[in-house]
Chains A and B, each alone.
With several copies, the nearest count.
Chain A
Amino acid sequence: MTVMTVIEAVKTAMDEAMAADDRVFLLGEDVEAGGVFRATEGLHAKYGERVIDSPLAESSIIGLSIGAAHYGLRPIAEIQFADFIHAGFDQLCSEASRWSYRTRGDAYLPMVVRTPWGGGVHGGQHHSQSIEAYYSHMPGIKVVAPSFPADYRSLLHAAIADPNPVLFLEHKRTYRLIRQEIDGAEAETRLGKARVTRRGDDLTIYAYGLMLHESLAAAETLSGEGTECTVVDLLTLNPLDRETILETARATGKVLIVHEDTLTGGLGGEIAAIIAEHAFEYLDAPIRRVAAPDIPAMPFHHAMEDFFMPNREKIAVAARELAAY
């Protein structure tokens, strides 16, 4: 039996993909030495010039990957921290997301941009951000944010095989925190599919990344109190799996959306809107969101960081209120 952490699952998938297809190569800051989270450790020794240290320049990490993917290679770009991807916003939004659209598929970009996101690691303002809302509002880009090691591995393979640009978000707090026995573990192999991780009749919680685990813990607590929650692991944030979202919302009539990102303009708004438009008749309660307060980003000091971060307790409180509604 093989138990893997998230970081091991990510590294394993890259190793497997590079071994199977020599068009796959890595580009990013410090990747030759293994990367600051050691996701690429050993790969330079094994694959040599296919693991390339980039200069400290995010626009080029994305822009070069676009060129290489257009040429027919399969770049896996690493942005050291999601917080630093913004200099590449232009290349992702104005170029990568439109490559296929503006040529009607005559040209396309099989590229992956991996990056560690999320808080709870004393990373402060610029090593903790949730960036998914910005980058999920780009038709043409796929955004993936798994929660369990087995999915990290299978979905990273799917992202590498996909002919479109995929932003692959890895929650850094879970890198070594979350382990899973992966042999025979349920693993989603398709981009665009959410998973119902837990079934309950009283309400549905939608989450991803670290918050999926916090939501499962909250659901466990509520179960002990007699409230049964459905918990949906969104897995792919763009395009969203509307079917699973609506099926579960209709089934439970009460919904709670959880994310670590700040509330206003976060992905929760879109999920709430989808439900409020297409499952309205089934709703028995207001649509609730648990998210971070509207401040620029995670403060550094642990007391303020804890205040900022949603967690199992805050989720449980909201779920109880919703159940009682």
Chain B
Amino acid sequence: MTATRTGRRTRSEKTIDEYLLSEQQLEDMYYYMLLARRLNERMLALNRQGRAPFVIAGAGQEAAQVGAAMALRKGTDYLAPYYRDLGMNLVFGMTAREAMLNLLAKRDDSNSYGRQMPSHWANSERKIVTQSSVVTTQFLHAAGIGLAAKLKKDPIVVMTCCGEGSTSRGDFHEALNFAAIHKLPVIFFVENNGYAISERTEKAMPVPNVADRKRGYNIQGMVCDGMDGIAVYQTVRPAVDQARNGGGPYLIEAKCYRLWPHSSDDDDSRYRPKKELEEWSKRDPIKLFRERVESDGIFPKEDLDEIETRVDDEIRDAAQWALMQPDPEPEDALGFVYKEL
């Protein structure tokens, strides 16, 4: 579901070009970022009310997620995301109602039908690859999809994502190594939000940037401002086009910041300086985007307010609807251990 255009008004075509994004795309970007954030906020509220046992959110990473996902071909390209990537799933077609079904582990949640924790995405039709809670394993799955596509000569791209802390695992190395040797069409997208639960990046990496890890594989890689959705799109889009045309894998790092605790179970006051959080909050990706498109005169305030209202309505509807949906039966724990054809 994408945003429908709002009322026409005059705006500078020049700036539009700079963005490499059409008006519709810019509007979609704002819509998806906002939808992701508001969904996460509502999810946390439901958790506080004791109606959702667990929430793990992407607050602070919406620009990275939406900007990167928009650079892919929906319906064609594969996505092997990680638990924070609600924004990516929305771009790929997940609705607010589906997101709420997943949060509440309802019977009809098409990600895992209540079998996995929330935010363990999956949707074969949308080419979202199922993932576990075990981090970084999906990097190898993405490389395997890239290998298969290369063997079949299908012009697709796979994007897989993880946090900066997850790049310390062996599977990260094995996946980049193999993808580089075989020049596979894989975008390894790392959302560096500054923390792995309580551990700052210095604990996980001897290099200042995740993207520096590309040097051991002689593949291309770059760092982008993960708080700026437009910059993310502008970085990822050319890489996707290159990869699709045999340019081999890319390692792209989006510098963002985890604005919330690790999860609804985490108390970040144990390890995170208030000051730091305040500083970063000033660069809230959604605030930044709105300021920029407003000041550039792309969208007048009214358009943006209109989107906000639409998003709020959708979420109110989604939460109310999802809460009334059926839960799994106890016996639903059984079945599909093995696939029957």
- Direct interface between A and B, CB < 8 A: yes
Cβ-based interface call for A151 (8 A): no
CB-based contact B144/A101 at 8 Å: no
Contacts A29-B197, A125-B132, A127-B117 given; does A301 touch B328 at CB 8 Å: yes
Closest to A25 in B: B151
Considering only CB atoms and an 8 Å cut-off, how many residues of chain A contact the other chain?
Answer: 75
Interface residue? A59 (CB, 8 A): yes
Docked complex Cα distance between A55 and B204 (Å): 5
**Any A CB within 8 A of the CB of B137:** yes
Q: With an 8 A cutoff between CB atoms, is A53 at the interface?
A: yes
Known: A32-B198, A105-B339, A126-B132. A299 touches B333 (CB 8 A): yes
Contact status B133-A72, CB under 8 Å: no
CB nearest neighbor in A for B122:
A103
The digit string for A13-31, where 1 denotes a CB below 8 A from any CB of B, is 0000000000001000110
User: If A56-B169, A63-B141 touch, does A125 touch B117 (CB 8 Å cutoff)?
Assistant: yes
B170 in contact (CB, < 8 A): yes
B144 touches A125 (CB 8 A): no
Chain B residues with CB under 8 Å of A124's CB are 115-117, 120, 133
- Partner of B197 from A30, A50, A59, A68 at Cβ < 8 Å: A30
- Interchain CB contact under 8 A, B140 and A67: yes
Q: A57-B170, A59-B171, A300-B112 are in contact. Are A66 and B339 (CB under 8 A)?
A: no
- A300 in contact with B143 (CB, 8 Å): no
* B122 engages A59 (CB within 8 Å): no
Asked if residues B151 and A295 are in contact (CB atoms below 8 Å), the reply is: no
* Least CB distance, B115 to chain A, in whole angstroms: 5
Given A67-B143, A84-B134, do A56 and B196 touch, yes or no (CB 8 Å)?
A: yes
Contacts A60-B175, A106-B122, A107-B124 given: A301-B115 contact, CB under 8 Å? yes
Contact A95 B337 (CB under 8 A): no
Q: Are B117 and A60 in contact (CB under 8 A)?
A: no
Q: How far is the CA of A306 from the CA of B335 in the complex (A)?
A: 16
Task: Please pick, from A32, A34, A73, A106, the residue contacting B148 in the complex, using a CB distance under 8 A.
Answer: A73
A-B contacts, 28 listed (Cβ < 8 Å): A53-B199, A55-B177, A55-B178, A56-B169, A56-B196, A57-B174, A58-B169, A60-B174, A63-B143, A67-B145, A67-B146, A73-B152, A83-B133, A87-B169, A87-B170, A90-B134, A90-B137, A91-B137, A95-B132, A95-B134, A101-B336, A102-B115, A102-B116, A105-B336, A125-B117, A125-B132, A303-B329, A303-B330
Which 5 pairs show the lowest CB-CB distances between chains A and B?
Answer: A67-B144, A63-B140, A126-B133, A55-B168, A307-B330
Chain B residues near A (Cβ < 8 Å): 53-54, 78, 80, 105, 110-118, 120, 122-124, 129-130, 132-137, 139-149, 151-152, 165-166, 168-171, 174-175, 177-178, 181, 196-199, 203-205, 265-266, 270-271, 327-341
Q: Which residues of A contact B (CB under 8 A)?
A: 25, 29-30, 32-34, 36, 49-50, 52-60, 62-73, 75, 83-84, 86-87, 90-91, 94-95, 98-108, 122-127, 139-140, 142, 163-164, 293-296, 299-308
